[in-house]
Structure 1
């Protein structure tokens, strides 16, 4: 790709899926949105395939994410906490994931007052450890060879979390129109 001295691409516009959206005041946002779409799809595919290779066949990416979240810090999690953690509006998605994980013996239900909670089982924790080992071998080792600056990756992650708030606010505004 031909680049100018200032690092910008010359001769072509931003890499986007919808050029009509990039024609506005902030084309870089359209470029980032497209990158998020393809990164998100690759990430979801990776999660499900890594879990399957670790022995958790048939789990969707959200079910794997819920499993890891329930395992996080060995503390029971409520459905509401899991929805908030992943910014999931449709509580049925989390309820279904928990039900499936429980049926597979990977999580078990508990109570915190009147609130139903989920906790990891020994089998669920072992699956998470096998997933982690595969992730280290297949993804982390490979990504480490790219020479990426970990502090820069953290900065990008922080920016993505900040932008999620902008999208949420714009979503609320659109819903009120």
Structure 2
């Protein structure tokens, strides 16, 4: 069953809210823009959560993406190259990834192994393992406990994951098209 566009959903339109703005005029544009606006706010809130959760288990002042880098390096308990890290995080800003890696290495959470043509990889140290374990415990105690108290939310999370993965592919494709046809 199709849902009503945001501007047609009872409460908002009855209270005189106007969802139109320079990015959105039609119902599809409004729904897409509202989703993008929600994604921006969610990204910022998620980054603050990651920073605060990490700060509660170690003295490193790290951004959300730096915290994510630490967990991705530990993921599957195998070393990662910069290429792996860029692919897994859907990033192409290699200098920023390198900066984050230097910061994590300086904090003693990650170690660099290998050199030159033989290949450089990154792994978590024992301290990195402790920090990621402690982070996981705080995450379970605060975030996952809150989610668990929301009836039916795990099904909604699964659907949101599928939707976000689909959107990720769509945004990548339209970014390629935009880059290909950019004005000189």
Shorter-normalised TM-score: what interval? 0.7 to 0.9
Quote the residue 2:145 is aligned against: 141
- Equivalent position to 1:54, from 54, 57, 76: 57
Do residues 104 (structure 1) and 83 (structure 2) align? no
Q: 1:109 & 1:78 partners in 2: Cα distance?
A: 10
Quote the residue 2:158 is aligned against: 154
Q: 2:17 & 2:33 partners in 1: Cα distance?
A: 8
Q: Output one character per residue of 1:43-74: Cα deviation in whole Å (capped at 9) or x when no partner.
A: 00000010001114311111110100111111
Kept after mapping to 1: 8 A contact 2:147/2:153: no
Quote the residue 2:121 is aligned against: 117
Kept after mapping to 1: 8 A contact 2:110/2:122: yes
Kept after mapping to 1: 8 A contact 2:113/2:120: yes
Give TM-score scaled by structure 1 length: 0.87
Q: 1:125 & 1:14 partners in 2: Cα distance?
A: 49
Q: SS in structure 2 opposite 1:22? A: coil
Q: Provide the aligned length of Structure 1 versus Structure 2.
A: 170
In the alignment, structure 1 segments of 5+ residues that lack a partner are none
- Equivalent position to 1:72, from 72, 75, 87: 75
Deviation, 1:136, is: 0.9
In the alignment, structure 2 segments of 5+ residues that lack a partner are none
Q: 1:76 & 1:94 partners in 2: Cα distance?
A: 15
Quote the residue 1:20 is aligned against: 22
Give TM-score scaled by structure 2 length: 0.84
- Point out the more displaced range, 21-30 or 59-68: 21-30
Deviation, 1:149, is: 3.3
Quote the residue 1:92 is aligned against: 95
Q: 1:45 & 1:148 partners in 2: Cα distance?
A: 26
